[in-house]
Amino acid sequence: MKLLVINPNISDDVSALIRTEALRAAAPGTEITVRTARSGVEYIETRLESLLAAPAVSQIIAEDAGDADAVMVAAFGDPGMPALKELVDVPVVGITEAALATASLLGARFSIVAISGRITAWYRECVGRNGLESRLASIRSLRTPLRGIGSVQQDFRADLVRLANEVVDSDGADVVILAGAPLAGLAREVAAEIPVPVVDGISAGVAQAEVLVRLAPGTHRGGSFAAPPAKANAGLSPELAGLLARQLPIRK
C-alpha cells in the first residue's frame, strides 16, 4: 500500500523525524511518502496555528492523494480532522486519533506527555472531540522553552521520562502517549524506563492506516462523511476544486 504522510508543520527537521519513525513502523510492502506543509508555522501549538496549517494539508491531499491508499496527518492535535475525511475516498488518519485508538486497547486510562504548556489546551480539546475525556487521566508537559523543535527529544529526554513516570504514579495512567511529531521514535527508546505501555503517534498512525487499508471497510457514499453535495465554489486551488467536483464518490 501507498501511504501519504503529511507534516502540517513547515519544519523539515520534523519531517525527517517523522519519516524515520514511519519507516521503522511500516509493514513490509508499505510505501511511505512524506510531504511537508508549504504554509503554516514551525510547530503547531494552538488552535489558530492548527487552523493556519489546514489549508496546506488539504492542498497536499488534493495534489498527491490520487494514488495513495491512505493519508496520515502527522501533527498531534490532528489539524483539519475529521473534516479531511470528507475530502477523499481513502482513509485519512490523524496521529492523535490513531494514538488514542491504540492506547484505548492497552489499558483503561491514558495520559499525554507534551512538549509545551501552551499546547495542552489544544490537545485536551482534541481528546474531547474524540469523545474520550473519561479515559484521559491527565496531560503533563515540559515547562521550559525549547531550544529547537528538531532536538526536543535529545534535549529533554530525562524530563520526558520523569513526566511519564509521574502520570503513572500520581494520575493513574495505564498507558502513556508521548505526544507530538517532534517526539517521533522516542517511545521505542524509553519504553524500558516507563512501567506501562508507551504509545508514539507516528508509529500508531502508520499501523492504524495500514489496518484501515487492509480491512477495506468501504467508503463513505452516504452519511456525514460522504463527499459534500455539489455546489458553487470559488477561490480554491484547481486540485481542491477538482475533488469537490466529484459527484459520486467512487470506491478506489
**Chain residues 156-195 in contact with a second copy, contact rule CB under 8 A:** 168-169, 172-175, 187-188, 191-192, 194-195
Among 58, 138, 141, 153, binds a second copy (CB under 8 A): 58
> Smallest Cα–Cα separation from 45: which of 18, 16, 77, 12?
77
Query: Is residue 232 a contact point for a second copy (CB under 8 A)?
Result: yes
Among 4, 6, 34, 56, binds a second copy (CB under 8 A): 56
Query: Is residue 32 a contact point for a second copy (CB under 8 A)?
Result: no
Rounded Cα distance between 20 and 28, Å, is 15
Q: Are 71 and 92 in contact (CB under 8 A)?
A: yes
Give Cα separations from 3 to 13, 47, 150, 159, 208 (angstroms).
20, 26, 23, 33, 11
Q: List the grid coordinates of 57.
A: 494539508
Stretch in the footprint of a second copy (CB under 8 A) among 12-20, 53-61, 153-161: 53-61
Rounded Cα distance between 172 and 136, Å, is 10
Rounded Cα distance between 174 and 195, Å, is 9
Query: Is residue 118 a contact point for a second copy (CB under 8 A)?
Result: yes
Q: Are 103 and 207 in contact (CB under 8 A)?
A: no
Among 19, 45, 65, 153, binds a second copy (CB under 8 A): 45
Among 151, 220, 245, 252, binds a second copy (CB under 8 A): 220
Query: Is residue 5 a contact point for a second copy (CB under 8 A)?
Result: no
Rounded Cα distance between 213 and 162, Å, is 37
Classified as helix, coil or strand, 113 is strand
Residues 190-219 close enough to bind a second copy by CB under 8 A: 191-192, 194-200, 203-204, 207-208, 211-212, 214-219
Q: List the grid coordinates of 243.
A: 475533488
Q: Are 110 and 177 in contact (CB under 8 A)?
A: yes
Q: Are 3 and 30 in contact (CB under 8 A)?
A: yes
- What x-and-dash track marks residues 65-94 binding a second copy by CB under 8 A? ---------------x-xxxxxx---x-x-
Among 107, 157, 159, 246, binds a second copy (CB under 8 A): 107
Among 33, 41, 162, 246, binds a second copy (CB under 8 A): 41
Find cell 478506489 and name the residue: 252
Minimum distance of a second copy from residue 102's CB (angstroms) = 7
Query: Is the bond leading into 82 cis (omega within 30 degrees of zero)?
Result: yes
Residues 123-162 close enough to bind a second copy by CB under 8 A: 124-125, 128-135
Among 98, 112, 115, 183, binds a second copy (CB under 8 A): 98
Stretch in the footprint of a second copy (CB under 8 A) among 12-20, 44-52, 153-161: 44-52
According to DSSP, residue 81 is labeled T
Among 3, 4, 6, 10, binds a second copy (CB under 8 A): 10
